[in-house]
Structure 1
Amino acid sequence: MLNLKSMPHVQALFLLLIAMISLQSSGSLAKVLFNQFPILTVSAMRLLLSAVILALIFKIWQIAYQQIKWKAILSYGLALAGMNLLFYLAISRLPLGIAVSFEFIGPLSVALYYARQKFDFVWVGLAILGLILLFPFDQAAQRLDPLAIVFALAAGACWALYIVAGQKPSGVSGNHTVCLGMFVGTAVLLPLALFSGFPLHVFEPSNFVYFMALAVLASALPFSLEMIALRNLTALSFGTLMSVEPAVAALSGFIFLGEQLLWNQWLALMTIISASVGCTYTTQQAKQRIASK
C-alpha cells in the first residue's frame, strides 16, 4: 500500500495536482456565475473574498507596514486585477481549455525571454505551432471569437507582469504580498463593478455561498496547497507539473460545462504543454550549470 507520508515528493505532487484541479474548476464555476451576474461583479467578488480569506490564514495584522514597498505591491496588484478580469472576459466567450492555452503564452514568454540556450528556438517554434493549431480548421464546427482571443492574450500579458512584479522585493513575505496584492486588485475592480451596476442579491445566502466557493477554489485552496507543495519540490518539478494546466482546464470544461474541443485543439494543448515542459527543463539545467561553476 502506498504511504504518501513516507514519500514527501509524491505527496507534494499530489497536492499540486489538487491545487490545479481546484483552480481550473473555479473557472467552470465562474462561467456558471456569468449567467446570473456581470463579469465585473464576479471578478471583483473573487478577489475581495480571496483577499479576506488569505488575510485570515496568513494573519495580515502581523505585517510590519512600515517595511512595505508599496510600489512593488501596487504593480503586483494591478497585474493581478488585469489578469483576473481579462481571463474572465475570455472564458465567457471561449472554451476554458483554449482560453488557458492562449493565456499560458504569457508565462511561457517570460521563461523564454530569460532563457538563452540553443534549444530556445525549438520551444518558441512549438509555442507558435500550438497557437496556430488552436484555430479550428473546420470553421463550421466551431468559430473562435477574435475579441475573446485578444482578452486571453492580454490576460497572459498580465500574467507575465504578475510574475515579474511578484519577483520584486516587497518588504513582506510572499504570502503577504499575494494577500495585499489581492486587496489592491479589489480596490481597482470593485469601484468599476459598482459603477457598472453591482447587483445586491450577490449577498443573499443562496448566492453568496457560490462566491465563497469561487474564492476558495480560485485562490485560498490552490495557493495554500502550492505553498505546502513547494517545500518538497524542485523548481523543475513544480514548473513541469504546472505546464499541464491547459489540459486540466480543458478537462474541467468538458466535465463541468460540456465543452468539447476539436482534435487539432487538443493537439495544440499538447504542443503548448510540450513547449512549456521543455523550456522549464532546459532553463533549470542552465541554472544548475551556472550554480555549479
Structure 2
Amino acid sequence: MAAPTSPLVLPSSPRTGALMATGSMLCVQVGLAASVGLFDRIGSTGTAALRLLWAGLLLAVIARPRPSAFTRSGVAAAAALGTVTAGLTILFTEALARIPLGTAAALEFLGPLGVALLRGRGRARGWALLAALGVLLLTNPWQSGLDPAGVAFALAAAACWAGYILLTRRVGDQVAGLTGLGVSMPVAGLVATIVAGPSLVGSIETGALDLSVLLAGLGIAVMLPVVPFSLELLALRRLTTAAFGTLMCLEPAIALGVGVLFLSQTPSPAAAAGVAAVVLAGIGAERAGARRAQFSTSAS
C-alpha cells in the first residue's frame, strides 16, 4: 500500500495546544461524572465498552478514513492506538472499582509523567518534576490498606496512557485531520466489546441495556472520548510529548476545582499547594513546549 508524503507539522503557538489539552481534560471530567449513572445498570466495564463503541461509530462516520490516506505503518500505529485506548479505558475503570479515585489518578499519572521525564530535556524535565510533586500533594497515594489488584490495574492504565500519548502523536503526524481516529476508535470499540462481552450479554438478557441506556451512552461518548481524544490529537501536533505529558497533570487540579465549585468540597492545605504546583508546571510546559516544524516522509 502506498501513500503520499505525510502532512507537514507546522510550528504553532503552544498556547493553542495547551488550550486544546485543557479543554480535553474538562471534557474527561464531565464524561466521567456522567458515566457513573450507568455503572449500576450495565457495570463499569460495560459502560466503558458502550462509550467506545459509540465513539468508534461516530468517528468512523465523521472522519471517513480512506485506505489511500495510510501507509502500512500508519495503519499499524492506528490499530495499536485503538488497542491501547481500550486498555486505558477499561483498566482505569477496574482500578476505580477497587481503590479511591484520587489514589487511582495519582498512579495513572505515572504514565504521562514518565513520558515527560523521559522525553523532556532541561527545563521541560524540571516542570515535569514539579508537576509530579503537585500530583503527590493532591492525591496522597501513599495511604495504606490499598487493594493490590486495584493498584495493579492503575499501574497498567498508566502504561497504556504513556503508550496512548506516544501513539497519538505518531498517528497525528502521519495522517491529516481526524482520519487516524476514524481507524483507532473503531478498533478500541471492538477490543472493549470483546473484553466486556459477558457483561454486555448479561445486561441484554436482564433488560438493563435498553434504549435509554443506549442513548445515554451515545451522549456520554461525545464528551468522552470523541471530543477529548480529538482535541488531544490536535494538541500533540502543536506540543512536544514532554510538554503534553506535563499538562495532563493539570487534570487532578481541574477535578479538585470541580469539587469545590459543584460539590462544596474544601481542599486541604496540601491539596491547595498541589494545585499551585501543577498549575505552575502547566504554565511552564505550555511556554516551553512548542514543536519545531518537521516533515515525515515514510511510505510503504
Counterpart in the other structure of 1:48: 53
Query: Does residue 112 in structure 1 map to residue 114 in structure 2?
Result: no
- Between the aligned residues of both structures, percent identity stands at 29
Name the SS for the 2:42 alignment partner. coil
- Please say which of residues 209-218 and 238-247 is displaced more in the overlay: 238-247
Counterpart in the other structure of 1:64: 68
**Structure 1 residue 35 displacement after superposition:** 2.2
Counterpart in the other structure of 1:31: 36
The answer on whether the counterparts of 2:20 and 2:232 sit within 8 Å (CA) in structure 1 is: yes
**Structure 1 residue 103 displacement after superposition:** 2.0
In the alignment, residue 167 of structure 2 is paired with which amino acid? Answer: A
Superposed, 1:190-229 pairs within 5 Å as 190-196=193-199, 198=201, 199-200=203-204, 201=207, 203-224=209-230
Superposed, 1:139-218 pairs within 5 Å as 145-168=147-170, 172-173=175-176, 175-196=178-199, 198=201, 199-200=203-204, 201=207, 203-218=209-224
Name the SS for the 1:48 alignment partner. helix
- Please say which of residues 43-52 and 261-270 is displaced more in the overlay: 261-270
TM-score, scaled to structure 1: 0.72
Counterpart in the other structure of 1:235: 239
Query: Does residue 91 in structure 1 map to residue 96 in structure 2?
Result: yes
Q: Distance in 1 between matches of 2:99 and 2:42?
A: 18
**Structure 1 residue 247 displacement after superposition:** 1.6
Counterpart in the other structure of 1:291: none
Q: Distance in 2 between matches of 1:235 and 1:118?
A: 15
**Structure 1 residue 38 displacement after superposition:** 2.0
Deviations 1:206-252, CA, capped at 9 Å, x for gaps: 21121112101102233455677x59x9538x847654222223344
**Structure 1 residue 158 displacement after superposition:** 0.6
Q: Structure 1 residues 41 and 134, CA, compared in 2 at 3 Å: closer, same or farther?
A: same
Q: Distance in 1 between matches of 2:134 and 2:148?
A: 18
Q: Distance in 2 between matches of 1:274 and 1:101?
A: 18
- Please say which of residues 92-101 and 21-30 is displaced more in the overlay: 92-101
TM-score, scaled to structure 2: 0.71
Q: Structure 1 residues 259 and 185, CA, compared in 2 at 3 Å: closer, same or farther?
A: farther
Q: Note the aligned Cα RMSD (angstroms).
A: 4.0
**Structure 1 residue 11 displacement after superposition:** 9.0
Deviations 1:273-293, CA, capped at 9 Å, x for gaps: 544554555555xx77xxxxx
**Structure 1 residue 192 displacement after superposition:** 2.1
In the alignment, residue 218 of structure 1 is paired with which amino acid? Answer: L
The answer on whether the counterparts of 2:39 and 2:47 sit within 8 Å (CA) in structure 1 is: yes
In the alignment, residue 156 of structure 1 is paired with which amino acid? Answer: A
In the alignment, residue 44 of structure 1 is paired with which amino acid? Answer: A
The answer on whether the counterparts of 1:40 and 1:85 sit within 8 Å (CA) in structure 2 is: yes
In the alignment, residue 154 of structure 1 is paired with which amino acid? Answer: A
Deviations 1:52-99, CA, capped at 9 Å, x for gaps: 111122123x44277443322232122111111112223334554553
Q: Structure 1 residues 252 and 85, CA, compared in 2 at 3 Å: closer, same or farther?
A: farther
Name the SS for the 2:41 alignment partner. coil
Structure 2, unaligned runs of 5 or more: 1-12, 293-300
- Please say which of residues 187-196 and 265-274 is displaced more in the overlay: 265-274
In the alignment, residue 23 of structure 1 is paired with which amino acid? Answer: V
The answer on whether the counterparts of 2:17 and 2:239 sit within 8 Å (CA) in structure 1 is: no
Query: Does residue 124 in structure 1 map to residue 126 in structure 2?
Result: no
- Please say which of residues 82-91 and 161-170 is displaced more in the overlay: 161-170
Q: Structure 1 residues 146 and 23, CA, compared in 2 at 3 Å: closer, same or farther?
A: same
